[in-house]
Amino acid sequence: TLLVDADAHRAQSFRGTGDPVPVFTGRGDGTGLTLVAVVAMTEVALVLVSLLAATGFVVTAQRRQRQLGMLAAIGATEAHLRLVTLSHGALVGIVGSVTGAAAGLVTWFATAPLIGQRAGTRVERFGVPWWLVGLIVVLAMAMTTVAAWWPARITARVPITTALAGRRP
């Protein structure tokens, strides 16, 4: 079995004169559907993770309530307070998605030969769809920022005296 990325005519040009006639079967172009399915499943997973992250940002915002109250006391507007929590969410998203992508790629590079050996085929280490990896990293960053939006909105509306007293709104 010879796996080539070419059409039947081009692959047959490599055949010698005394070799048996090969049988060519196309593998089809199902890559578009596969990539859409991977992105859709990843997006569903990211939505579920963002729900968990939102609860984490709520807890963080409640712990920082006095600090946010101090910022409001010295003149920060609601927009500034929202920006503090949103920037925290974006920073968590950047660090988490880049770290996760790096860990995933290192694991892939380490296990690709073993996977190819078990599957009985050659697996290209650098045959990763890099744009898909980048898209997933960007989606992870966006989802954590979106997850921080609702807690940012709630904590920005807490009155200054309530925030400084450390009471829950």
pTM of the model: 0.64
Burial zone of 46 (CB within 10 Å; 0-12 exposed, 13-18 middle, 19+ buried): buried
Q: Give the gyration radius of the chain's Cα atoms.
A: 26
Among 98, 68, 101, 103, smallest CA distance to 86 is for 68
Question: What string of pLDDT tens digits covers the 169 residues of the chain?
Answer: 666 677 777 767 766 666 666 666 656 555 677 778 888 898 888 788 878 888 888 888 788 888 888 888 898 888 998 898 899 889 988 999 999 999 999 999 999 888 888 878 888 888 888 998 999 899 889 888 888 888 888 888 888 888 888 777 6
- The DSSP symbol for 20 reads P
